Chain A
Amino acid sequence: MSTTATSPVQGESQPDKSRRPAESAKPVTWKLPVTLAVLATVAFIFFGLLGPQVNAKFGVSSGGDFFQLPAIDVPAFLSGIVLSLILLGLAGYALVLKAKKNQRPPRWLPAVFTVVFVVAFLIWVVGGARTPSISLAGLIAGSVTLAVPIVFGSLSGVLCERAGVVNIAIEGQLLGGAFTAALVASLTHNPYLGLLAAAVAGALVSMVLALFAIKYVVNQIIVGVVLNVLVSGLTGFLFSTVMQSDPEKYNSPGELPIIDIPVLSGIPVIGPILFKQSVVGYLMYVAVIVIWIGLFKTKWGLRVRAVGEHPQAADTLGIKVNATRFWNVTLGGAVAGIGGSFFTLVAIDSFTKEISGGRGFIALAAMILGRWNPIGAFFAALLFGFADNLQSIVTIIGTPVPSQFMAMLPYVVTVFAVAGLVGRSRPPAADGIPYIKG
C-alpha cells in the first residue's frame, strides 16, 4: 500500500499533476508502449491462438441499399492471428521508438491500434457466438443512434471545460432536455418546438450551474452533482404528478421524422448513418464541426480557450473572463439539452423517469477520452455507443463474453485513459478554478 518513493513513475505522479500546464515538458514515459504491448499480447493469445475456428459472417448491406454487397466471411482464427500480429507490430514500434530515440509514438498510432483492436475483438466475439453472423451495417447504424445523446453531452462538456468550468451536470442537462422536449412537444403537438424547448431547458440548467459557479464561487463539482439530483427529482416529481395524470395530453410528444436523403442514403454502411437521420442526428454532425471550427479557428474560440487556460492573461488582454464563461456554459447546456431531446423525440416517444440513464456521465468520459476536443469527443462517444450496442447484440447472438463485461468496457477504458495509460489527456489548465478579478 505504501508508495515507494524511488519508483521511476514517481517523478510525474504527484496528485494534481494533470492540472498543470507544464506537462508537455515531462519526459516520455514507458506507460503507453508497455500498455500497448500488454494489450497486443492479450489480443495475440485470446483473439489469435485461442481464437474460434469458424468463419465469422458480417452482413454489409441492409435491405434499402441501392446496390447490394455480399456479406463478408472472415475466417476468425486466421484473421485473429493476423490482426494481433499487426497489434504486436504497432506496440513493438512504440517500444523501439521509446528505447532507441526516447520519442513518444506518433499520434496516429494509438488510434490505429484502437481500431485494429476493436476489429479483432469484434471478429473474436462474433466467431465465438452461437450464431457467428452479425449485420455490420446494423451494428454501426445502431452505434451511431446510441451515441447521439453522448455526443451532444460531451460537446456540452467541451464547451464548458474549455472555458474553465467543470460540467458534471451533463446528466441533468440531458434529463432536463428530454423532459421538456416531451412536455412541450405534447402540449404543442409540434416536435420541433419540443426540440427548441429542450435547448432552452438545458441552457436553464446550465445557467444555474454558471450562476453558482461563477457568481457565488461555489465549488463547481458540488454544484454539478447537486444539480443532477435536483433535475432528477424535479423531472421525476413532475412526471409522477403531471405526466402520469394524463399521458395523452402531457406525455405523447410524437416523433421527429427521419429525413431520408435520396440516393445518398442508399450507400451501404455509411448511407444510413450519414443520410438517414432525424433532425437531431444531422444537428449532431453540424454541431461537432461547428464547435470544432469555432473553438480552434475563430477569434471567439481563441478567447474561450484563453479563458480556460489562463484567465488572468485573458483578463489582462481585455477579455471578460466571467462573462465568457457564463455564456459558454449556457451554450453548452443548450447543446446538451438538444441531445436530451433525442431520448423523447427520436428514440422513444415518451418520457420516463431517469430516461438518460447515466449517459451524461458517459459523455463526461467521452469528453476526457476525446481530450477536450469536439472531434475526439465525437469518436470517443461513437466508441461508447458501439460498446453499448454490441452489448445488446451480444446478448442476442450469445457469446463467450458475458454481456455485463461488455457493458463495463467503456468505463474501464475511461479509467485507463484518465490514468494516462492510454495516451495523455490533460484538461484546460484553469478547469474548475473560479476566477476572481484582482
Chain B
Amino acid sequence: MSENTEPRPAAAPDPDRLPAAQATAVEPEPLEDDEAFVTSLDTAGGAHQPSAVPVSTQSGSLPGAPEEESVLRMIFTGNGIVTILAVVLALILGGLLIAMTDKVVGTTAGYLFARPSDFLTAVWSAATSSYVALFQGAVFNPRGAGVAGQFAPLMETLTIATPLITAGLGVALAFRAGLFNIGAQGQIIMAGILASWVGFALHLPMGLHLLLVLVAGVIGGAVWGGIVGVLKARTGAHEVIVTIMFNYIALYFLRYLLDTDLFQRPGADTPISPILDPSAAYPLLFGSQYRLHLGFLLAIAATVFVSWLLNRSTLGFEFRAIGANPKAALTAGINVSRATILVMTIAGGLAGLAGVAQVAGTEKVLTDGVAATYGFDAITVALLGRSSPWGTFAAGVLFGAFRAGAVQMQIQTGTPIDIVLVVQSLIVLFIAAPPLVRAIFGLNPRKKKAATAGKTKQAATTGGAA
C-alpha cells in the first residue's frame, strides 16, 4: 500500500521547460499579479499530465501548443485555479486577521448594528492599507524620489530573494530525490562561517579573494549537507531528525566561534566578526543606491544549473528515480547510497551559496543571526515552487517581496511582520490540499476530475519527499 501513496516526483510540474523569460519576467505584485505569477509556477502541473515516463526521456516541449493556448489551459485546469485560490484565500485570511486586531475595526464593531457600513469600511481599509503598504515596500513606491527611488523596493525584494532562492533550490533538489532537507539553516551558517573567515582573515587581490570566499562558503555548506547524506546512506538515520539537530549544532558552533579571538572583532564585546574586506564582497549590480549584488546573478545561474542537473543530466535522472521509488532505483542498478550523499552535498552547497550571499553580499559581517530564518523559509519556498527549479525561483522572489514589503508595512501601518509567516504558511497548506480549497470555494466540478486532480496535486506538492 505504501507504493500507492508514495508521492512521485515524476508527477511534479516541470516548468523548467517554460521559456525562462516567462517565469522571470513576472514581477511579484502580490495582489493583482498573483494570478499570472502563480500560473507561471504551475504551468506544467496543469498543462502536462503526469506521466509514468521519466521526464528526461520525454521530448523537450509539448508539440504544437501555442503559448496563449497553454496559458489558458493552465488557468482552466484544476491545478492552476487551486494555486491561485490558495494564494487568494491565504491573503484574505491574513487580511481578516489584520482587521480583527485593528483598533478602528474594534471601535466600529461596538456600534456594528447601528452603522454596519462603518464597520465594513474599517475592515476593508485595515486589510487593504496593510497590503498596499506591503506592495509599496516590495515592488513600487510612488512616493520614492525619482524613478530610482520608486523602484528601490523592487531591488530590495530581489536582494532578500537571493538567499531564499539558492537555499530553496537546495531544499527542492533534495525533495526531488525524496529527501527532506530541513537543514538549510545549518548549511547557511557553516557556509557563512567559512566564507566570512576567508573574507576578513585573508587579504588577497580583487577577484581571487571573492572567488575563494565563494568556494569556501559552498564547501562549508556542502560538507555540512554531505555529512547528513553520509549518515543517511550508511546508517539509515532519518535526514529530518539529523538535519534539525545539525541546525542547532551549527548555531552553537557559530556562537562559540564568535566568542573566540579567531572570529570576534578586536575590541568588540558583542559576538560580531570583523568586516569583510572590500575585495571579498559581491560587487553591487546597480551602483551603491541599491543593495542588490552579484549574488542575485549567481542565484539565477544556480537555478539554471539545478534545472540542467535535474532534467538533462544522468545524475539528476538518478536523483528523480530515487525520489520516485528508491527500491526500483536500486533494482535498476542506481547506486542509492552514492546518489543520496551527492544530492545532500549539492543541496548543502546551494544553501552555502545563500550563506555567501549573506556575508559577502548583504551583511558583510558574521553574526549569530547570519542565517536569519532563511533556512526555514527556504522550505516553504521549495514547497510553493513545487520543488522545480524555476518554480522555486519564482517562489523565492514572491517570498522576498513579502519579506521586503513587510518591513515597510510595519513602519507604515503598524502591522507586525509576523503576518507574513501566517500568509506564507497558509499558502503552502492550502496548495497542499486542493480538495479543501475546492470545498471552500464550492468548486467540485466533476467528481472524477476532482479526484484525479487531488491525487496528482498532492504528489506534485510533496515532490516525492517521503
Contacts and interface: CB of A to CB of B under 8 A. Distances in A.
B236 A18 contact: yes
Contacts of A353: 418
Interface stretch (A233-241, A290-298, A343-351): A233-241
Contacts, number: 191
Contacts of A168: 240
Given A13-B236, A18-B238, A418-B241, A212 B433 contact: yes
Contact-size category for A: 35 or more
B87 interface: no
B255 A212 contact: no
Interface string A121-140: 00000000000000000000
Main SS at interface, chain A? helix
A364 B244 contact: yes
Given A3-B335, A408-B252, A418-B241, A312 B466 contact: no
A404 B335 contact: no
A106 interface: no
A1 B341 contact: yes
A13 B233 contact: yes
B180 interface: yes
B180 A221 contact: yes
Interface in B213-257: 226, 231-238, 240-242, 244-246, 248-249, 252-253, 255-256
B432 interface: yes
Interface stretch (A96-104, A327-335, A409-417): A409-417
A364 B235 CA distance: 19
Given A402-B256, A408-B252, A240 B418 contact: yes
A17 B236 contact: yes
B280 interface: no
Interface in A285-333: 312
A226 B429 contact: yes
Given A14-B330, A229-B421, A365 B245 contact: yes
Given A237-B97, A242-B101, A361-B244, A218 B432 contact: yes
Contact of B242 (A217, A240, A407, A415): A415
Given A3-B337, A412-B249, A415-B246, A222 B432 contact: yes
A427 B342 CA distance: 26
Given A222-B428, A408-B253, A237 B422 contact: yes
Contacts of B462: 218-219, 222
A15 B336 contact: yes
B252 A404 contact: yes
B465 interface: yes
B458 A216 contact: yes
A3 B1 contact: no
Nearest to A219: B462
B295 to A, nearest CB: 25
Contacts of A69: none
A364 B342 CA distance: 27
A62 to B, nearest CB: 30
A288 to B, nearest CB: 22
B4 A219 contact: no
A233 B5 contact: no
Contact of B419 (A15, A233, A405): A233
A365 B466 contact: no
A241 B419 CA distance: 11
A358 interface: yes
Interface in A391-438: 402, 404-405, 407-408, 411-412, 414-415, 418-421, 427, 432-436
B7 interface: yes
A434 B256 contact: no
B326 to A, nearest CB: 6
B233 A222 contact: no
B418 A233 contact: yes
A237 B429 contact: no
Interface stretch (B112-120, B308-316, B376-384): B376-384
B465 A237 contact: no
B429 A212 contact: yes
Contacts of B435: 216
B337 A415 contact: no
A218 B231 CA distance: 27
Contacts of B425: 226-227, 229-230, 233
A2 interface: yes
A368 interface: yes
B365 to A, nearest CB: 19
Contact of B5 (A226, A358, A368, A436): A436
Contacts of A118: none
> Which residue, of B244, B245, B383, has the highest number of chain A Cβ atoms within 10 A?
B245
> Which residue, of A212, A226, A245, has the highest number of chain B Cβ atoms within 10 A?
A226
B449 interface: no
B318 to A, nearest CB: 13
Nearest to A426: B236
Contact of B252 (A16, A238, A365, A407): A407
Contacts of A408: 248-249, 252-253
Contacts of A358: 248
Given A212-B432, A233-B419, A238-B101, A402 B259 contact: yes
Contact of B338 (A2, A229, A419): A2
A329 B162 CA distance: 38
A418 B238 contact: yes
Interface in B3-54: 4-5, 7
Given A15-B336, A216-B436, A226 B380 contact: yes
B245 A433 contact: no
Contacts of A402: 256, 259
B418 A404 contact: no
Nearest to B322: A15
Given A216-B454, A232-B418, 4 more contacts: A212-B429, A230-B421, A234-B97, A237-B97
19 contacts: A13-B233, A13-B337, A14-B236, A15-B337, A16-B326, A216-B436, A219-B466, A223-B429, A230-B425, A233-B424, A237-B97, A237-B101, A241-B415, A241-B416, A358-B248, A405-B252, A408-B249, A408-B252, A420-B236
Interface of B: 1-2, 4-5, 7, 97, 101, 103, 180, 182, 226, 231-238, 240-242, 244-246, 248-249, 252-253, 255-256, 259, 326, 330, 335-338, 340-342, 345, 376, 379-380, 383, 415-416, 418-422, 424-426, 428-429, 432-433, 435-436, 454, 458, 461-462, 465-466
Interface of A: 1-3, 9-10, 12-18, 168, 212, 216-219, 221-223, 225-227, 229-230, 232-234, 236-238, 240-242, 245, 312, 353, 358, 361, 364-365, 368, 402, 404-405, 407-408, 411-412, 414-415, 418-421, 427, 432-436
The 7 A-B pairs with the shortest beta carbon distances in the complex, nearest first, are A233-B421, A236-B418, A240-B416, A404-B256, A230-B425, A241-B101, A216-B433
